[in-house]
């Protein structure tokens, strides 16, 4: 558990924690056209107010979280990959892993395992518009584990995120998934309050 703050000072407080499992199901249109549906389940929330924050679509709701004297406003989000439901057209297991830093989707400027989404010409969040957000980082911890470190301060703008899934035994086929995540703002003595946005 980390204890950094958005200013880099060590307050002695713990980062809030969210952990979830991402479970893909492959959709075989053809050997060269593989899609996927995804379901998400939250497994950890610390403190207790962090539980129940992850939707089945991977959305992360950071609204209405009360202050806790043991925790700061930073949030560590762990995303574990569960490939147990990934099978081919004949029902045989298919290997999968999170993409690596240099891997490419084959379309647009998107590369790697995870990124934050900018907006397209219509003002909608788009997985094909990767952006950098101050005090936000996306880390690949291993083939089945990603981490988002959200060290943004209160009143930071909303953001959305996307991830790359690779099928190593199918020519490193690359599939993009893009859940949504809320921003966080401080209102009165509460900790965060804002609404959802989608990528």
Q: Tens digits of per-residue pLDDT, 42-65?
A: 999 999 999 999 988 888 888 777
2 within a domain of the structure (yes/no): no
pLDDT in tens, 140-186: 999 999 999 998 876 666 778 889 999 999 999 999 887 655 544 43
Residue 91 resides in a domain: yes
Domain-located, residue 6 = no
Cβ 128 vs Cβ 107: under 8 Å: yes
Q: Please check whether residue 199 lies inside any domain of the structure.
A: no
- Is the whole model's pTM more than 0.75, yes or no? yes
Domain count, the chain: 1
Q: Is residue 8 part of a domain?
A: no
**Residue span of the structural domain in which 68 resides:** 14-192
Q: Is residue 187 part of a domain?
A: yes
Does residue 71 fall inside a structural domain? Answer: yes
Answer whether residue 42 is part of any domain.
yes
């Amino acid at each position: 558990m980390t204890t950094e703050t958005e200013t880099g000072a060590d307050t002695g407080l713990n980062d809030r924690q969210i952990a979830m499992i991402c479970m893909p199901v492959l959709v075989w249109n053809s050997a060269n056209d593989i899609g996927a549906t995804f379901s998400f389940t939250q497994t950890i929330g610390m403190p207790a107010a962090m539980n129940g924050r992850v939707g089945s679509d991977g959305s992360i709701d950071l609204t209405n979280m009360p202050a806790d004297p043991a925790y700061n406003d930073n949030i560590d989000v762990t995303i574990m990959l569960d490939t147990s439901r990934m099978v081919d057209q004949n029902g045989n297991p298919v290997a999968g892993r999170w993409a690596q830093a240099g891997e490419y989707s084959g379309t647009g400027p998107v590369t790697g395992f995870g990124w934050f989404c900018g907006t397209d010409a219509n003002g909608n969040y788009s997985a094909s518009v990767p952006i950098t957000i101050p005090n936000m980082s996306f880390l690949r911890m291993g083939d089945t584990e990603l981490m988002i470190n959200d060290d943004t301060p209160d009143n930071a703008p909303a953001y959305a995120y996307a991830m790359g899934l690779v099928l190593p035994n199918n020519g490193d086929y690359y599939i993009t998934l893009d859940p949504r995540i809320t921003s966080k703002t401080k209102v009165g003595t509460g900790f965060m309050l804002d609404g959802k946005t989608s990528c």
